[in-house]
Copies of this chain bind each other. A is one copy, B any other.
């Protein structure tokens, strides 16, 4: 095992012919190969941090009912983290080590997109929920049976954001001037997310290869995946009245 291109010591470094979890030699598409382990580590850390950030945003709510509703989304994210952590443990991997290569990028995303108020928190929750659901749906097709089952289980538990949509709509109706600010905020969120996604893809070659369906021309494939996620995001924003 060698150090990853990010200079840190990842649990499984990028590249083929690596040793998979349990000491076996990884095959392409191996359920414990480096690409899948990276994906599990990434999704676990994304879920854990989403739990903390959604809880922070929930604390901004004025009413106890709104506070509890956003906390409920946070708790669902923690449930996703628990499922992913359990899968890493099943593979005899240390969840903290599997998450480690993604800490910097995910933390930077959140430090650059801290919600200034309750409405920004709601939009962020809705944007994150939508992109996560699309990503889980897309990535499931590329995975081995076991990992796909896990990803679909997590996917089935997303979609807690209806209440966020209702609250944002109410706020826009009550004061249409918030539209411009929130539309700009939603664009910033997707821009920052794509920036960090590209950084991760560049740093973690086996993950990029997995997400590109094993293609050598992975950057083009990944670009198409990101474009599809962005299109779907734009459609959701338009439906919410936050079109460009």
Q: Decide if B52 touches A59 in the complex (CB within 8 Å).
A: yes
Q: Interface size on A (CB < 8 Å)?
A: 25
Among A30-38, A65-73, A177-185, A215-223, the stretch in contact with B: A65-73
Docked complex Cα distance between A146 and B75 (Å):
27
- Tell me the interface secondary structure of chain A in the complex: helix
With A51-B71, A64-B99, A68-B95 given, name 16 new contacts (CB 8 A). Answer: A48-B64, A48-B67, A48-B71, A52-B59, A52-B71, A55-B55, A55-B74, A64-B95, A64-B96, A65-B95, A65-B96, A68-B81, A68-B85, A71-B78, A72-B78, A72-B82
Q: Chain B nearest CB: distance from A66 CB in Å?
A: 10
The answer, yes or no, to whether A242 is at the interface (CB within 8 Å) is no
**Which A positions have Cβ atoms within 8 angstroms of B?**
45, 48, 51-52, 55, 58-59, 63-65, 67-68, 71-72, 74-75, 78, 81-82, 85, 95-96, 99-100, 103
